[in-house]
Structure 1
Amino acid sequence: MIKNYIKIALRNLAHNKVYSVINIAGLTIGLTCAMLILLYVQDEASFDRFHPNSNNIYRVVYQSFNHGEEQNLASSGLLQGPRFRQHVPGIKSFVRVQDGYADFKTGSTIDGRSLLFVDSNFLSFFHFPIIDGNVASCLKDRHSVVITRNEAIKRFGTADAVGKVLMVREGEDFAPYQVTAVTENCPQNSSIQYNILMPIREKPDDQKNDENWFSYYLSTFIELEEHADPTVVRSQMQRFYEQDATATFYALNAKFGNTSKDVRIGNYLLQPLLDIHMSTTFAAQNGLDRASNPIYAYILSGIALFVLLIASINFVNLTVARSVRRAKEIGIRKAVGSDRRQLIVQFLGESFVLCAIAFLFAILLVQLLLPVFNELANKKLAIGYLIGGKLISAYILLFLLTGLMAGCYPALILSGYRPVDTLYGRFTLKGKGILQKSLVILQFTLASFLIIATFTIYSQFNYMVKADLGYNDQDIVMVSRNNITHQEAALFKEQLLRLPDIQYVAPKNGGAWSTMANMANDSSIRFAWETIDESYLETLQIALVQGRNFSADHPGDSVHSVLVNETFVKQAGWKDPIGQPVVFNFQNNKRYEVIGVIKDHHYASLDTKIQPQLFTMSNANPYGVFYIKIRPNTATRSLAYIEQQFKKFFPLTPYQYVFKNEANLKSYESEARWKRIILFGAVLTIFISCIGLFGLSVLSAEKRNKEIGIRKVLGASVQSIAALLSFDFIRLVLIALVVAMPLAWLAIGKWLENYPYRITPGWTIFGYAGGAVLLIAAVTVSYQAVKVALGDPVKSLRSE
C-alpha cells in the first residue's frame, strides 16, 4: 500500500512539472533558511557550555548608584575574588581575567598582540584542553607564557613549543618568557578567546589597599560549591562588601569632593557564565569576547519562520487550486471503495514525498551556502555542526511539521469531494476562494513587511555613514604608539611636517578616557577627557564657537586651560562659559579654566549620544595616537614617509596605521551585517511569494481558458485580457500592503528608538517599498496573463 502511495505521488509530481518545481523550490528555500537558523540558534545557545562546571560558574558584576543614576559594570578589580573567596561560604574558587596587549620580538621583527592576563589556576578553573604542559604550574612563574596551537605553529612552526622562548617588551627592553604550556585553540563558542596567556600583574601591597575595591578593570569569576545557593551567596557577598568597604567608599567620595546624599554604595551581583554571551545588561568585555544580542536570534528566527510559512502557503494554495484537475481521480477512487481516511493518507503521503525531496535539496543547499551565511552572521559554523543528536531531532521535527503544515489542509479538502459530482463533471470549488486569497494576502503581508524593514535599515545605515560628523575625517591617517611624551611627540610631528604632502599632525591620548570634575555651583559632571595639542581642532576642522583655541603663544595653556564642547556647557548650566572653573578632585582639587567652547561633534559612532567632552594640553598626560592629515591623492607617498619616520623614532614599536574614515565606517559593521541579512530575507520572501503567485496565475489561466477564447473572438484586446487576469492578484497584493504598512510603521519605530540619531520614517520609504512589491507582483502575474492572452482562441474553443 505504501509503495503504491509513493508511486502515485511521484507520478503526479512528474505529470505536473511546473507545480512540482514551484513547490519543491519554495520548500527547499524555506527549509534551508530554517536549517541555517537552527545552526545559528544552537551555536548561540551552546556558548560556554563546554566547560564541565559551567552551571556553577558566575561572573562578579557591580551595580553602582550615583546622583540617582544606576550604572551596571561588568568589571571588578583585584580585591573582589580573593576577599569574597576568603570570607563568603559557598565559594569554591575564583579566577581573574584581564585583557592586555604586548609587543613580541622574533628575530628583528616586532609585532603587537592582544593577550589575557590571568590567575595561575585559569586552566584548571576553565576547561581549555591542554596539549602539552602542566596545568597546575604552567602560569605560576612571572615569566611564563601559555599559547594556543595556532600561535605555536605561527611562531615556531610546530605545536611542540613547550620550553621555547618568546621575547616580550618590558619598558624599553625585551625580556625572555618561557612557553610552559600549549593549549588547543579556543572553541568558537567560547566567550573567552585568547592566543596568549600570561600571569596577572599584581603588586605585593595590592591586596592590602582597600581602595582597590573601587578599581574596575578586569573580570572576576567564581565557582560555587556543588550545593551552594547563588542567592544566599550573593547576599553574603553584599553583606561582607558593605562591612569591609563602606568606610573606604565614603572616604574616597569625600576626598574627591563628591559629598552628595544621592551617592550610596553599590551592589555586587552574580551573573551566570551561560548568560554572558547574550546579556544586554552586563555584556562580554574585559577579557571576554563575541558578545551577542538575543534580538539577532529573534530576527533570524522570524525570517526563517516567514520564509517557511510562505513556502507552505504556496503548497496549500497550489494544491487547492489544482484540485479541480484531480476531481475525477478522487471520484473514481471513492467509487471503487476508497474511504476518506485512505485518501487523507494518500495526499499527506504526497506532501511528505515532496517535503522529503525538498529536504534533501535543502541539506545540499545548506552545505553550499554555509560560508556565505557565516560571513553574513559573523559566525564560524561548520558542516560538522549539522551532525548532532539535538540538531538531527530538530531537523526531523522540522520535516514532520513542514509536511503536516503543507499537506494537512489540502488532504482534508480533497478527500471530502463527492464522487457523483466529480464523475459527472458538475464539480466546482465551493465559496469564493476566501482561504486561498487570505493566504496570498498573508504571504505578501510578510514579504512587504520585510521589504519595508529593508528600506528602513538601508536608510538608517546610509544616514549613519554619511551624516555630518561635525569634523572632516577624510585623508586622515591614524598611527598609534602608547605613552608618548610631549617632547617625543613634538619632535616626531616636526619631522613629519617636513614632507609637503603632510598638511597637519595632531597628537592625542590613546584610548577613551573619562572622569568627573566639580563646577563652581557644587555640581559634578562626568565627561570624556582628551589630551591634545594646538593643532587638533585645525587638523579635524572642528569649529570653535566661543573663546579661543590652545596656542603656543600662551605657555600657561598646558597648565591650567581647558576646552569644552557645547554639551558640557549645557550640562554645567553655564550662560557664559569662558573663564568658568573646572576642579579635578583626583588631582588634589587642581583648578582649570575654560578658554574656549568647541562645536559638538560625533567623536564616537552615531549609535552613541554626544556626551560632555573636555580637552587639556597637560604635559602630565601622555599621547597615544597621531592624527596625520595628508593631501588628497598622495596616500602612497605619504604612507611610505610616515612609516619610515615612525620606525626611525620608535624602532621597537610595531607600525600600524588606519585611515580615520575607515575606522569610523568599521564601527557600523554590525548595522552593515544586519542590513545584508534583512535584505537577504526580504529577497527570499518576495521570491517565494512570487513563484507561488506565478503558479496560481498559471492555474487560473488554465481554468479560464475558454472564457479567454470567447472574449478574444468577441474582440477583446490582449491588453484588456491581460489586465483582467492580473487584476484579481494585484488587488490581493494591494490589500497586503495596506495590512503590512501600519505593522511595519510600529516595528521600525520601535527599532529606531535604539539610535539617538536616526532617520524619520516617511512616506518615501513606504512608497518605494510598496512600489517595489507591486512592480514585482505585476511582472510575475502579467507574464502568464500576456502569454495566455496571445494564445490562439480556436484551440481553446474547438473541444468541449
Structure 2
Amino acid sequence: MIRNYLKIAIRSLVKNKIYSLVNIVSLTLGLTVMLLVSLYVSDDLSFDRFHEKGNQIYRLVQNVKDADGNEGKMGNTGLPQGKAFKDAVPGIKDFCRFKNGWNTLVQKGNEGIKEKLMYADPSILSMFSFEVIEGSKSQALTDQNNVIISQKVKEKYFGAESAIGKVLNIGDEGSDFKPFVVAAVLKDIPQNSSIQFDLLLSIEHIIPKDPQQRANQESWYNASLNTFLWVDEKANIDLVEKKMAKVSEKYITQSKKDSPHLSKYDAKFLLQPFYRMHLDPEYYATNGLEYWSDIRYPKILSAVALLVLIIACINFINLTLARSLKRTKEIGIRKTNGSTNQQLLLQFLGESFLLTFLAAIPAVFFAQAFLPSFSELTNKHLELRNLFSIQSISIFVGIIILVSVLAGFYPAIIMARFQPIKSLKGQLKFSSGQTFRKALIVFQFVMAGVLITATIVVSRQFDYIANKELGYKTNNILRFWLPWEQIATLSPKLKHELSQLPLVKKVSAKSGDWNSTMYEVEGTKTEYTYYEHIDENHLQLLQIPLLKGRYLSSKYALDTVSNIIVNESFVKKYVPKGKDPFTVKITQQGTAMNIVGIVKDFHYASFKENIKPIVWGLDTRGQAGCIHVEIADNQQQAAVESIKKVYKKFVPYLPIEYQFLEDFRMEKYADDLRWKQVLNFTSGIAILIACLGLFGLATFSAEVRTKEIGIRKVLGASVTSIAAMLSKDFLKLIIIAFIISAPIAYYFMNQWLQDFVYKIEMKWWIFAVSGLLVCAIALLTVSYQAIKAALTNPVKSLKIE
C-alpha cells in the first residue's frame, strides 16, 4: 500500500514539473529560514543550562527608588548582600559574587596580552558546573596568590605541559604585573554561557584593605558587581524573598542613619531565576555577564520564520487546489474501484510529505551555507555542529511533519470528498475552493505589502539618522582610552607628541562617557545632569558651535577651578526665565560655579533620547583619559599606524583599542540595524515565495484557458488584450491586499517609530510606493505566463482537448 502511494506521488510530481518545482523551491526557502531561526531560538533558550544546579541558582537583583521617587530596576548589587542573606535567611545555602577585571594583561616576554579576567568567591566551583581538568576544585581560590585559567589560556602560555604550579604575571592596564600561581585549569567555557572568563582570581583582590574605604564599598547602596544565591530546592521562593526584605530593611535603615543624604533612596532585593537571566530585559547584565539578550528577539524571529513558512505552505495549498480539478477523473476511478476517503486522504498527505521531504534536503545545505552570515547578522555564536545535533534534527523532523500536514491536509480533505459520478462526468464545480485560494493569495500579498512598507520606513529612518545634522563633527575622528591610573602623567606628553604627527590635525581629551551628578541652580536642585571634564581643545575639535560667551582656557585661572560651559538645554531647563545665565548661582557639592560659555545643543546621545542638559569643566584632576584625534582626510590607515606607534611608546604593554567616532555613534543603533538587515532579508524571501506561488497559479490559469485564448486570437484579440485578461484577476487581488496591508503596516511601523524622539514622518507616498512595488512585482510575475500564452499559435491551442 505504502509502495503504491509512493509510486503515485512520484508520478504526480514528475508529470507536473512546474508546480512541483514551485512548491519545492518555496518550501525549501521557508524551511531554510525556519531551520536557521530554530538554531537561534534553541541557542537562546539553552543559555546557562549546562549548570547542573542552575534551577537552584538565583541572581540577586533590586528595584530601586531615587530621591524624586523615580523607580528603576538594577541587576547589580554590592559586596555585603550575599553574605548577609546567607547568614540570616534559612534556605539560602551559599552565595557567589562576580566582578569583571578592567584591561587585564598577561605578560609574555616583552608583550602584554589582553585576557578576560573575573574576580569571584571560591564557591564558584561548587555552585556552577565549570569543569576542572587540572588541579584542585576545592582549594583553587582559597589562596589569594592563586589563579584559575581556561584551557585556551593554558595552551597559549604553557603548551602541552601541565600548568599547575606555573606562574603567570598578571596586571591591570599594563602596570604592576604580579605573579600568580596556576592552581586549576578549567575546560573552555561553552559559548552559551552568560559567565565568560579566561582568568579567575579571588574577589578579595578588589576589597579595599583600608577600613574606611572598605566601609564605603560595603554600603548597601553600592552596586558594582553581580551576586548569585544558591537556594535550597525545597525552599519557598516567595517566603525567602519576604525574609530577605526584613534583613535588607535592617541594613538599609542603618545606612540611612550613617548617610543622611541617602534617606530618600530605597531598594528592594529580589531573586531572578538563573535560567531566565539571559532573556530578561528588565535587569540588564553587566560586570562580567555577557551575551545579554531579550525574550522579544526569539519571539520576533520565530514569528517572522513562521510567516515565511506559512506563505510557502499557501503556495502548496493554492497550487494543489488549482490542480485538483485536473485530478477529478483519477479520484473518480479510484473511488469506483473501492478506495475509501481515508485511503485517498493518506495518499494526498503522502504526496505532501514527499514534496516537503524533497524540499527539506536542499534546505539543510542552504542552512549550512548561510549559517556564518546568519550568525553575523544576528550577532550570535552559532556553530555548524549545532545544525546536526539531536535537538536540531528532532526540531527539523517535527517541522517537516508539521508542514506536511499544514500544507497538505486541507487539499487532501477537499479532494478525498469528491463525488465519483460527478468526478467522472467532469461536472464538479469548485467555487468555494476558488474563494479560499483567492483569500490565501490576498493574505500572502498583505504580508508582502506590510514587509515592503516596513523595509521602506526602517530604511528611511536610518537614512535620517545617518544624514541628519548632528551639531558636531564625527568624520575622521578616532578615540581611544588611556590607562586610568596613568592619565595624569601620560596625557599631556602623549597629546603633544600626537599633535606633531603630520597626518594629525587636532588632539583633545575628555573624561568618561556622560557621567552624571546633581547641581543647585539658584538654590534649586537639578535632576542628575551629564557632565564631562575636558581639555581646552575638546569642544573646538568637535566643532560644537559657541552661542554666547567663550570656550574654556587654562589662561583664565578660574577656568581651572570653577568656571563651566553648558549647553542650550541646561539654560532652558534650569536657568530662571529672564535671568542672565552668566550671573546665576550654581553650586555642586558646596563648590560655587560660574557659566562662562553656552554652546548650541547637539545630538550626543541616540535619536531615541531628547537632548539633555550638559555641563563641561576643565580637567584638573587627571580624569580626561579618552583621547580624541582628528586625522587628515583620506589618510586613515597611515594616520592610525603613526598613532599606534606613539601610543606604544607611552603604553608599551596595553594594546590600543581605538574606535572612529562615527562608529561609536552608530553603536547605539546596533540592535535596530541588525533587525533592519533581518527585515530586508525576510522581506526578500517572503516576496520571492509569494511570487513563485503567483507564477504557478498564472501558469495554471493560462493552461486551463488555452482553448479560450485560441478562440479569442482567431476572432482578432491582440496579445495585449489577452495578457490583460489573464492578469486582471490577479491584479484585483493584489490591490485588495494593498488596501488591507496599508493600515496594518502603518500601525506597526508607527509603534516602532515611537522608540525614537527624532524621527521621520510616515507620509502617504511611502504606502503608495509600497503598493506600486507590490503591484509591479505581481504583474511582472504574471505577465510572463500571460504573454507566453497570448503568443501561442491559436491552431495548437484549438487542437488541445
**Normalised-by-shorter TM-score class:** over 0.9
3-state SS of 1:433 partner: helix
Q: Which residue of 2 aligns with 1:564?
A: 566
Selected match of 1:203 from 208, 214, 230: 208
Alignment of structure 1 residues 468-487 onto 2, 5 Å: 468-483=469-484, 484-486=486-488
Equivalent residue, structure 2, for 1:584: 588
Q: C-alpha displacement at 1:182, in angstroms? A: 1.7
Native 8 Å contact 2:47 2:278 kept in 1? yes
* Matched residue, 1:179: 182
SS of the counterpart of 1:222?
Answer: strand
SS in 1 for 2:271: strand
Q: 1:152 to 1:210 in 2, by over 3 A?
A: closer
Partner of residue 492 from structure 1, selected from 469, 494, 497: 494
Of the three residues 226, 231, 237, the one matched with 2:238 is 231
C-alpha contact 2:80 2:220 (8 A) present in aligned 1:
yes
Which residue does 2:105 correspond to in 1? 103
Equivalence map 1:74-223=2 (5 Å): 74-101=75-102, 102-158=104-160, 160-169=162-171, 172-200=175-203, 201-204=206-209, 205=211, 208=215, 212-223=219-230
Distance 1:73 1:727, change over 3 A: same
Post-superposition shift, 1:208?
A: 5.0
CA distance in 2, matches of 1:61, 1:43: 24
Range with bigger deviation, 293-302 or 10-19: 293-302
Q: Are residues 652 and 692 of structure 1, via their aligned partners in 2, closer, same or farther at CA, if it must alter by over 3 Å?
A: closer
TM alignment of 1:692-707, pairs within 5 A? 692-707=693-708
Structure 2 counterpart SS, 1:545:
strand
Match of 1:522 in 2: 524
Equivalent position of 1:48 in the other structure: 48
Could you say which residue in structure 1 is the equivalent of 2:69? Answer: 68
Once the two structures are superposed, residues 728-769 of structure 1 have per-residue CA deviations (whole angstroms, 9 ceiling, x without a partner) of 111111111111111111111112222233222222332332
Structure 1 residue runs of 5 or longer lacking an equivalent are none
Distance of 2:29 and 2:687 partners within structure 1: 12
Deviations 1:45-64 (A, max 9, x none): 11111111111111111222
Partner of 2:155, secondary structure, is: helix
| Shift of residue 74, structure 1, vs aligned partner | 1.3
Structure 2 unpaired stretches of 5+: none
Deviation string 1:40-82 (CA, Å, 9 cap, x unpaired) is: 2111111111111111111111222120211212111111112
Distance in 1 (alpha carbons) for counterparts of 2:395 and 2:115: 41
**Structure 2 vs 1, CA of residues 211 and 142 (structure 1 numbering), >3 Å: closer, same or farther?**
closer
Distance 2:389 2:474 in 1: 49
135-144 or 283-292: which moved more? 135-144
Which sits farther off after the overlay, 737-746 or 656-665?
656-665
**Which shows bigger deviation, 105-114 or 437-446?**
105-114
Shift of the 646–396 alpha-carbon distance from structure 1 to 2, 3 Å rule, reads: closer
CA distance in 1, matches of 2:600, 2:776: 46
> Matches of 1:219 and 1:202 in 2, distance apart?
14
Contact 1:159 1:182 in 2 (8 A): no
- 2:36 aligned with 1:33, yes or no? no
Q: Is the Cα–Cα contact under 8 Å of residues 554 and 560 in structure 2 kept in the other structure?
A: no
SS in 1 for 2:583: coil
Q: Which amino acid aligns with 2:588?
A: F
Q: Return the alpha-carbon distance in structure 2 between the equivalents of residues 160 and 289 of structure 1.
A: 29
RMSD of aligned alpha carbons: 2.2
107-116 or 52-61, which moves further after superposition? Answer: 107-116
Are the structure 2 counterparts of residues 520 and 411 from structure 1 closer, same or farther at C-alpha, using a change threshold of 3 Å?
Answer: same
Question: Aligned-pair distance for 1:180?
Answer: 2.1
Matches within 5 A, 1:313-462: 313-387=314-388, 391-431=392-432, 433-462=434-463
Q: 1:381 to 1:493 in 2, by over 3 A?
A: closer
2 CA distance for matches of 1:321 and 1:525? Answer: 67
Q: Displacement of 1:389 after TM fit?
A: 5.5
Bigger CA drift: 572-581 or 435-444?
Answer: 572-581
2:37 partner SS: helix
Structure 1 residue 560: Cα displacement: 0.9
Residues 756-767 of structure 1 mapped to structure 2, 5 A cutoff: 756-767=757-768
1:547: which partner in 2? 549
In the superposition, the TM-score normalised over structure 2's length comes to: 0.94
Distance in structure 2 (CA, Å) of the matches to 1:35 and 1:653: 42
Per the alignment, residue 722 of structure 2 pairs with 721
| Cα distance in structure 2, aligned partners of 1:650 and 1:436 | 70
The alpha-carbon distance between structure 1 residues 177 and 253, as it changes in their structure 2 partners (threshold 3 A), is: same
Q: How far, CA to CA, are the matches of 1:238 and 1:497 in structure 2? A: 56
- Find the aligned partners of 1:424 and 1:245 in 2 and give their Cα distance: 88
SS of the residue corresponding to residue 110 of structure 1 reads strand
Closer, same or farther in 2 for the Cα pair 1:605/1:164, shift >3 Å?
farther
Q: Note the C-alpha offset of 1:29.
A: 1.8
Distance in 2 of aligned mates of 1:480 and 1:106: 23
1:714-733 Cα offsets, whole Å, 9 max, x none, are: 11111111111111111111
Secondary structure of 1:380's match? Answer: coil
Query: Within 1, Cα distance between the matches of 2:692 and 2:195?
Result: 45
Answer whether contact 2:144 2:202 (CA < 8 A) is retained: yes
Cα displacement (A) at 1:658 = 2.4
Which residue is 1:277 aligned to?
278
Counterpart of 1:616 in structure 2 is: 617
How far off its partner does 1:390 sit? 5.1
Deviation at 1:596, TM superposition (A): 2.0
**Deviates further, 501-510 or 312-321:** 501-510
Cα separation, 2, equivalents of 1:11 and 1:458: 47
Post-superposition offset of 1:224? 0.8
The one-letter amino acid of 1:583's match is: T
| Partner SS, residue 213 of structure 1 | coil
Deviation of residue 495 (structure 1)? 2.5
What is the deviation of 1:500?
A: 4.2
Aligned residue type for 1:47:
F
The change in CA–CA distance for 1:20 and 1:489 in structure 2 (over 3 A counts) is same
Deviation of 1:14 after TM superposition, in Å, equals 0.9
TM-score, normalised relative to structure 1: 0.94
**Match of 2:304?**
303
Q: 1:523 to 1:380 in 2, by over 3 A?
A: same
Deviation at 1:773, TM superposition (A): 1.7
Distance 1:356 1:502, change over 3 A: closer
**Alignment of structure 1 residues 630-649 onto 2, 5 Å:** 630-649=631-650
2:2 — aligned with what?
2
User: 2:20 & 2:7 partners in 1: Cα distance?
Assistant: 15
Distance (whole Å) between structure 1 residues aligned to residue 498 and residue 534 of structure 2: 17
Range with greater deviation from structure 2 (477-486 or 62-71) = 477-486
Question: May I ask how many residue pairs the two structures share in their alignment?
Answer: 791
Percent identity between matched residues is: 39
CA contact (8 A) 1:277 1:283 kept: no
Residue identity opposite 1:239 in structure 2: K
Contact persistence 2:80–2:218 (CA under 8 A): no
Counterpart in 2 of 1:688? 689
Match of 2:733 in 1: 732
Distance 1:165 1:605, change over 3 A: farther
Q: Distance in 1 between matches of 2:166 and 2:583?
A: 60
C-alpha separation in 1, matches of 2:292 and 2:81: 23
SS at match of 1:525: coil
Can you list the C-alpha shifts for 1:501-551, whole angstroms capped at 9, x where unaligned? 322211111454222333333323212221101101110001222322101
Q: CA deviation at 1:562?
A: 1.7
Q: Does the 8 A contact of 2:321 with 2:433 survive in 1? A: no
CA distance in 2, matches of 1:244, 1:125: 26
